[in-house]
């Protein structure tokens, strides 16, 4: 299926592709410094120019929804060729990409390490610590970018990046705060793409909502929460194959469209959280400290107990699946020194922990509550507020 991209000479093509082949394409295109859309167009043209007998048959069982953009008219011509060769469009596209990948090699000197989409999982099994506030604020700061600093620090500018906020919490606070409606029960959503892959008809990209495009220059988007997420733990129990990879499989097609994905995780230690933690694990050849977990905490005793349980779960997932999950840092949220000794002593304990380090201390001020009430992004509603400055501080330290 294809649809015209308004104002462009390309049209969107919705198809299916084996996950392994999609990853090979992404890696090879990155290694050669070629845009993925251009690589697909080259692959299609190359396939059309070859005799049918020279193209390998590809096992497309388990292929998943995948979108790309082709030059206008190329899709219809390619589809006609597939019909003439008596193969499906999915098979034809898989053949074309296989041929292109195999014929576009590079020497070791020319290869570069593939760049993964950065994944930041904002999590804590304790509710009320402000995971949504931190996920939203950090995502906004990443999308906006940071100017260079002057004076003694002289830190470089950080460009705004294409950022996707994922509301992975069934309570849907992030979705609500940004003025977006939750996905109704039974409709296609992140949950269905995780647990009902055989039944999904569309692309998960179609569920993504742009947030305040003028202010964030089209770089901030949201994947809304679904009411079905309340049953995610029980439904994951019946998923065929490794459950911990379900979130990674669902979000993989979106990684081609974003530089950073920020997950607002649910406050629990169940199967959904296992999948969330696994999604943040360090991938092959990915540098340490790029992706991982960002942990909001409060300056009080119960938050320390909750952190210990989360830390234990991270260690368990790391050992069970033999992956590294980097702890990007702590954010002491909603800090109010007027609460006295308990708050100040707890803050000292967090700061003395060492690893992970405290990236910022965010005060409990009215601007965040006002932004939530007005359903506006904090960095748009109160860009100079102390809380907004702290979000930029976290973004700077994550860099």
* Rounded average pLDDT over 384-398: 96
Angle between helices 36-49 and 74-84 (to 10 degrees): 40
Q: Return the CATH number of the domain spanning residue range 118-398.
A: 3.40.50.300
Looking at every residue in the chain, the average pLDDT score rounds to: 88
Task: State the pLDDT at residue 5.
Answer: 44
Task: State the pLDDT at residue 9.
Answer: 73
* Rounded average pLDDT over 268-286: 92
Checking if the pLDDT of 158 tops 50, the result is yes
Helix (H, G, I), strand (E, B) or coil at 178: coil
Q: Specify whether the CB–CB gap between 343 and 336 falls below 8 A.
A: yes
Task: Tell me which residue has tokens 């509603």.
Answer: 381
Angle at 327 between CA 382 and CA 171, to 5 degrees: 55
Checking if the pLDDT of 284 tops 70, the result is yes
Q: What digits encode the pLDDT tens for the residues 343-370?
A: 888 889 998 888 899 999 999 989 999 9
Instruction: Identify the band that residue 2 occupies on the pLDDT scale cut at 50, 70 and 90.
Output: very low
The pair of structure tokens assigned to 10 is 């390309």
Checking if the pLDDT of 99 tops 60, the result is yes
Chain-centroid distance of CA 54 in Å reads: 38
Task: Give burial (CB, 10 Å; 0-12/13-18/19+) of 80.
Answer: exposed
Percent of the chain with pLDDT over 70: 95
Instruction: Identify the band that residue 107 occupies on the pLDDT scale cut at 50, 70 and 90.
Output: low
- Out of 117-121, 152-156, 327-331, pick the least confident: 152-156
Q: What digits encode the pLDDT tens for the residues 286-345?
A: 889 999 999 999 988 788 888 999 999 999 999 998 999 999 999 999 898 888 887 888
Cα gap 123→335, rounded to integer Å: 18
Checking if the pLDDT of 179 tops 70, the result is yes
Angle between helices 89-103 and 19-32 (to 10 degrees): 40
Checking if the pLDDT of 209 tops 70, the result is yes
Q: Is the pTM of this model over 0.85?
A: no
- Out of 142-151, 238-247, 262-271, pick the least confident: 238-247
């Amino acid at each position: 299926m294809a649809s015209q991209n308004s104002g462009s000479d390309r049209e969107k093509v919705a198809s299916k592709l084996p996950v392994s082949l999609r990853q090979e394409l992404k890696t090879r295109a990155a290694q050669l410094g070629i845009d993925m859309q251009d690589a697909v167009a080259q692959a299609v043209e190359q396939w059309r120019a070859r005799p049918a007998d020279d193209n390998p048959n590809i096992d497309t069982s388990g292929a998943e929804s995948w979108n790309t953009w082709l030059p206008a008219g190329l899709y219809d011509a390619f589809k006609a060729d597939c019909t003439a060769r008596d193969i499906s469009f999915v098979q034809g596209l898989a053949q074309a990409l296989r041929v292109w990948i195999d014929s576009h090699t590079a020497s070791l000197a020319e290869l570069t390490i593939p760049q993964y989409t950065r994944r930041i999982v904002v999590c804590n099994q304790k509710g009320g610590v402000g995971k949504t506030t931190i996920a939203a604020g950090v995502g906004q700061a990443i999308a906006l970018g940071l100017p260079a600093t002057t004076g003694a620090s002289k830190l470089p500018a950080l460009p705004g990046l294409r950022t996707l906020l994922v509301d992975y919490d069934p309570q849907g606070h992030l979705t609500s705060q940004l003025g977006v409606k939750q996905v109704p029960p039974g409709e296609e959503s992140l949950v269905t793409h995780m647990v009902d892959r055989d039944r999904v008809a569309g692309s998960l990209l179609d569920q993504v909502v742009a947030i305040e495009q003028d202010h964030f220059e089209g770089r901030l988007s949201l994947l809304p929460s679904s009411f079905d997420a309340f049953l995610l733990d029980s439904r994951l129990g019946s998923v065929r194959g490794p459950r911990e990879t379900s979130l990674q499989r669902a979000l993989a097609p979106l990684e081609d469209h974003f530089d950073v994905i920020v997950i607002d995780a649910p406050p629990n230690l169940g199967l959904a959280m296992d999948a969330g933690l696994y999604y943040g694990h360090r991938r092959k050849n990915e540098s340490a400290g790029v992706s991982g977990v960002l942990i909001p905490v409060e300056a009080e005793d119960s938050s320390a107990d909750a952190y210990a349980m989360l830390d234990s779960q991270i260690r368990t997932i790391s050992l069970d699946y033999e992956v590294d999950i980097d702890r990007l840092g702590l954010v002491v949220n909603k800090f109010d020194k007027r609460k006295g000794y308990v708050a100040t002593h707890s803050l000292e304990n967090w700061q003395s922990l060492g690893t992970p380090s405290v990236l910022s201390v965010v005060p409990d001020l009215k601007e965040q509550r006002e932004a939530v009430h007005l359903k506006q992004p904090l960095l748009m509603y109160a860009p100079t507020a102390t809380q907004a400055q702290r979000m930029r501080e976290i973004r700077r330290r994550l860099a």
